[in-house]
Amino acid sequence: MLERIKASLPSLAPAEQRVAKLVLANPRAFASLPVAELADRAHVSKPTVVRFCRSVGYDGLADFKRKLVGSVSEGVPFIHRSVDADDKTGDIMVKVIDNTVAAFLKYRNDASTGAIEKACQALVDTLRSGKRLEFFGVGNSGVVAQDAQHKFFRLGVNTIAYSDGHMQVMSASMLGPGDCVVIISNSGRTRDLMDACGIARRNGATTIVITATGSPLASAGDIHLSADHPEGFDNYSPMVSRLLHLLIIDILATCMALRLGGDVVQPRLREMKQNLRSKRYT
């Protein structure tokens, strides 16, 4: 959580930066002090303290403090340990698993439930209005987009995934009000995805971006679901980033299924399972 605040510093207003520095200086004290004293110590107004919490992706001061307490007290130590060429198989296994588990725990503490709520509502609205849902990703993120399409079409959503930049731009040009596109990117700096996001948004479609905080793509969409981790986005073989993106997709799919209700989702899944029985050996 503190790493996320550090990364957000350059994009914050000067007054909000003073609040951020107060958090970083003593997170435990920040979590326990009333808003009036926090404002006094940071030399800002009380509304500025609340605005800072929302600027870094939380629902307000109470939500920010709750997540801050969890992050500090649990002390989830995300020490990203790179895999080395001379590592033994057991060392590789431990490093990969530890990095993944730590990333998931960090996301649990840092994630904005408000942003996820908005994204889920947008997805539900798209389904109920019979509009299109599309997933865009390039390279490794393109694989995640395909997985997302596989999960959501089983819920009865009219959806497709594109990993080709030209197809993304053409498809974005066909979207309109009521449609929704989920754009997945580790770096948040891929030009094709930025172009497609801008086109879709100008056409009135809802754009949900799953990417790193502070990246160009993070501020280009309507709804930003942060996916922050210490793994470099230029890593030849991304591991944690892909799994974190898949986790976020799973959360969205589960929330949407529950919103739609068992009487809508379960009959579809049962029929699908029944029709697939002939495809398996008994």
pLDDT at 184: 97
Query: What Cα–Cα distance (Å) separates residue 152 from each residue in 146, 209, 215?
Result: 10, 16, 26
pLDDT at 230: 66
pLDDT at 76: 44
> What SS3 state is found at 161?
strand
Consecutive 10-residue runs of the chain (282 residues): their mean pLDDT?
Answer: 82 92 87 91 93 88 84 51 75 80 82 91 92 94 94 87 96 96 94 96 97 92 89 57 92 89 72 78 75
**Alpha-carbon distance 247 to 104, whole Å?**
8
Asked whether the beta carbons of 129 and 156 are under 8 A apart, the reply is: no
pLDDT at 218: 94
Asked whether the beta carbons of 108 and 118 are under 8 A apart, the reply is: no
Strands of the sheet containing 133-137, edge to edge, are: 159-162, 133-137, 180-184, 206-211, 223-226
**Alpha-carbon distance 193 to 190, whole Å?**
6
Q: Which helix (H) or strand (E) holds 159?
A: strand 159-162
**Alpha-carbon distance 240 to 98, whole Å?**
10
pLDDT at 81: 58
pLDDT at 259: 86
pLDDT at 225: 95
pLDDT at 244: 92
